[in-house]
A = this chain, B = another copy of it.
């Protein structure tokens, strides 16, 4: 598991897609403008996202990308792994230079941690992230208006809490 700006770009773009993809496909040009990411770079990222079946493309005018499944079933670990493919983590496994037991021990400890991070990020879906944002926006709006909770908002709040967000 690696966490760089590349992964940030990918998650940002996917969030944009989740937020703006309700009515039909979203073009990369639109995402490029809104998120200030270069179009060609987006194309590269989406090529990998498509290969990993996180998005589907629609060609021609009016085309673009859409999420391949609903936002609740796409998690952050999926996205980051997809765009980071190719560069393996070059752990001691595979190479023969891990003769003494001590090195293997800490390497395994690191792999263990890495696995924990992956599991953690697997538990955060695009839907959960956007819902959390909704909760914030709504709670601010409510604070200003002094309004009472409505059913849909308390529901997302409960969901967010259940997801430990």
List the interface of chain A (C-beta within 8 A of B): 1-5, 8, 11-12, 15-16, 19-20, 34-36, 76, 90, 97, 100, 102-103, 105-110, 112-113, 116-117, 120-121, 124, 129-130, 132-133, 165
Distance in angstroms between the alpha carbons of A124 and B112 in the assembled complex: 12
Q: Taking the full assembly, how many copies of this chain does it contain?
A: 2
Contacts of A97 in B (CB 8 A): 36
Cross-chain contact of A120 among B36, B103, B117 (Cβ < 8 A) = B117
Q: Is the CB of A165 within 8 A of B116?
A: yes
Interfacial chain B residues near A108, Cβ < 8 Å: 133
A145 to B130, CA, bound (A): 50
Complexed CA–CA distance, A69 and B148 (Å): 48
A137 to chain B, nearest CB (A): 9
